């Protein structure tokens, strides 16, 4: 069992873990000094987290074969050369990406993953009229692969409008069956551990911020099966009074008559999602070969054609409007647009700058970045399971085992 300490203890734990996330590897003394924390306090927290297998000790060797960090002024007595890092040796979290077409799962250690590597996957929408039963059956069939792991919990990235506090999907335009089931209860029938639902774009934003800790204020826009956004301000995801923000994909575009999965007509994601772009490409080129790779090759050969320019300009208007309202100057683009020739994101960036008020006084950045969903789910697991600010009554004591 994991003992939940006082609020001050949690704040100290949170500060130490976040510092170790930034540093990657550090000694006890280095952590204490950088945080302005006494060495006994830092040492106690470290010992607790080592006992819980949240941290691990490693010996780092320098180029000449000697132990790195051997300065006796920065290493506590009795532990020469021993450094600390987030546990990278064992899976402590089960990550699930519930995508529109595919569900992917993986066991994640707490060290920040360099890239997304999913171990297993299956269709999200199988099973005909009862997709939730098919989904649970597939998930249960894979549970034996994680039977030996001492999981702290399950963290799940889900699309749509998600009430993370209530752990519930309120509305999912592209995956409606998730609105009608209790996903948390379903997963807990397989793994008897805490389960957290996280809106997918918030997951990506947290992953980007964890991998780039100097970036504290940005709007992330992800393009794929849909189009969504997430806002990070002062190093934290924006949280309003309603469990909804960043819904850029459902901004209406005048003259667009395509029906969206949300039930509205003309949403921008019907134009600039993967399927929307391929539909427009097929209509413009009269070419039956609408594979994504062929589309990319076509752009490389022919440049940004008028129909694509108009689509990107429409997306840029929505993004620039969000920047003007929020008072931000940095946009992070992830997903399918980054898989196309660089000229696509470059055109989008110029259009965003043209519509941004701040560009008249200063610089506005629009950059492409990889999806870091695994890192985002690790960040959620650390913040809400290991060092939660507010501890849910249901899981005031966190079980340190899983049953299948």
DSSP codes joined into one string, 50-116:
HHTTSEEEEE-B-TTSSBTT--TTTS-TT-TTEEEEE--SS--EEEEEE-SSEEEEEEE-SSPPSS-
Higher pLDDT, residue 58 or 77: 58
Tokens of 34: 């950088």
pLDDT band at 360 (very low <50, low <70, confident <90, very high): very high
In the chain, list all ranges with CATH 1.10.10.10. 7-86
Residue 315: in which H helix or E strand, if any? Answer: helix 306-326
Tokens matching residue 65: 């074969």
User: Is-contact 145 68, C-beta < 8 A?
Assistant: no
Instruction: Give the Cα separation of 360 and 211 in Å (integer).
Output: 30
Could you tell me the two tokens for 64? 């000449």
Tell how strand 227-233 and strand 236-237 pair up. Answer: antiparallel
pLDDT of residue 220: 97
Q: What is the DSSP string of 169-191?
A: EEE-TT-GGGGSS-HHHHHHTT-
CATH of 214-368, one of 3.30.420.40, 3.40.50.2300, 3.20.20.70, 3.90.1150.170: 3.30.420.40
Instruction: Bin 255: left if φ > 0, else alpha if -120 < ψ < 50, else beta.
Output: left
Q: Residue 49: pLDDT above 50?
A: yes
> Position of tokens 């840029």?
316
Confidence tier at 81 by pLDDT (50, 70, 90): low
> Is pLDDT larger for residue 381 or for residue 287?
381
CATH topology assigned to domain 93-204+373-395: Nucleotidyltransferase; domain 5 (3.30.420)
Cα 124 from chain centre: 19
Residues of the chain with CATH 3.30.420.40: 93-204+373-395, 214-368
7 token code pair = 């609020």
- Looking at the chain, the whole-number percentage of residues with pLDDT higher than 90 is 59
Going by pLDDT thresholds of 50, 70 and 90, the confidence category of residue 72 is very low
Confidence of residue 66 (pLDDT cuts 50, 70, 90): very low
| Residue 53: CB atoms within 10 Å | 16
In the block, residue with structure tokens 């949170």: 14
Nearest of 287, 288, 324, 323 to residue 305 by alpha carbon: 287
320 token code pair? 């620039």
Token representation of residue 395 = 């899981």
Distance CA 137, CA 56 (A): 35
CATH class belonging to 7-86: mainly alpha
Burial of 282 (0-12, 13-18, 19+ CB in 10 A): middle
- What would the mean pLDDT of 242-253 be, rounded to a whole number? 91
DSSP secondary structure letter of residue 227: E
Q: Is the pLDDT of residue 272 over 70?
A: yes
**pLDDT per residue over 302-332, tens digit each?**
999 999 999 999 999 999 999 999 999 999 9
CB 80 within 8 A of CB 70: yes
Residue 3 pLDDT grade (very low, low, confident, very high; cuts 50, 70, 90)? very low
**Both tokens assigned to 372:** 């870091």
145 touches 133 (CB < 8 A): no
Per DSSP, the three-state class of 56 is strand
Give the pairing type, strands 93-98 and 153-158: parallel
Predicted pLDDT of residue 7: 66
In 3D space, the residue among 173, 148, 329, 186 whose CA is nearest the CA of residue 247 turns out to be 173
Mean per-residue pLDDT of the chain: 86
Number of H helices, E strands in the chain: 12, 14
SS3 category, 371: coil
């Amino acid at each position: 069992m994991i003992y939940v300490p006082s609020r001050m203890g949690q704040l100290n734990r949170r500060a130490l873990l976040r510092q170790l996330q930034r540093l990657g590897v550090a000694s006890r003394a280095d952590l204490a000094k950088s945080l302005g924390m006494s060495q006994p306090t830092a040492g106690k927290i470290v010992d607790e987290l080592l006992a819980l297998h949240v941290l691990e000790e490693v010996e780092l060797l320098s180029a000449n074969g000697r132990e790195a960090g051997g300065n006796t002024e920065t290493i506590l007595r009795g532990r020469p050369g021993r450094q600390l890092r987030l546990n990278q040796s064992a899976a402590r979290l089960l990550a699930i990406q519930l995508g529109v077409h595919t569900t992917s799962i993986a066991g994640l250690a707490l060290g920040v993953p360099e890239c997304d590597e999913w171990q297993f996957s299956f269709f999200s929408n199988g099973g005909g009229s009862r997709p939730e039963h098919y989904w649970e059956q597939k998930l249960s069939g894979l549970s034996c692969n994680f039977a030996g792991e001492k999981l702290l919990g399950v963290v799940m990235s889900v699309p749509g409008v998600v009430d993370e506090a209530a752990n519930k999907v309120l509305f999912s335009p592209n995956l409606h069956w998730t609105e009608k089931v209790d996903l948390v209860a379903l997963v807990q029938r397989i793994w008897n551990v805490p389960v957290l639902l996280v809106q997918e774009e918030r997951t990506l934003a947290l992953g980007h911020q964890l991998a780039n800790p100097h970036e504290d204020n940005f709007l992330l826009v992800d393009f794929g099966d849909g189009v969504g956004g997430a806002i990070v301000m002062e190093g934290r995801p924006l949280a309003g009074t309603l469990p909804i923000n960043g819904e850029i994909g459902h901004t209406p575009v005048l003259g667009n008559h395509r029906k969206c999965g949300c039930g509205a007509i003309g949403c921008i994601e019907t134009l600039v999602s993967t399927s929307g772009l391929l539909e427009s490409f097929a209509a413009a080129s009269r070419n039956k070969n609408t594979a994504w790779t062929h589309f990319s090759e076509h752009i490389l050969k022919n440049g940004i054609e008028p129909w694509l320019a108009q689509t990107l300009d429409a997306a840029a208007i929505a993004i620039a409007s969000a920047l003007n309202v929020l008072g931000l100057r940095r946009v992070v683009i992830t997903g399918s647009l980054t898989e196309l020739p660089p000229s696509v994101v470059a055109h989008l960036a110029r259009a965003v700058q043209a519509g941004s008020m701040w560009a008249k006084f200063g610089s506005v950045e629009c950059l492409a970045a990889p999806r870091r969903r695994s890192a985002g789910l690790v960040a959620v697991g650390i913040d809400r399971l290991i060092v939660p600010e507010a501890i849910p009554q249901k899981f005031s004591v966190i079980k340190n085992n899983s049953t299948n």
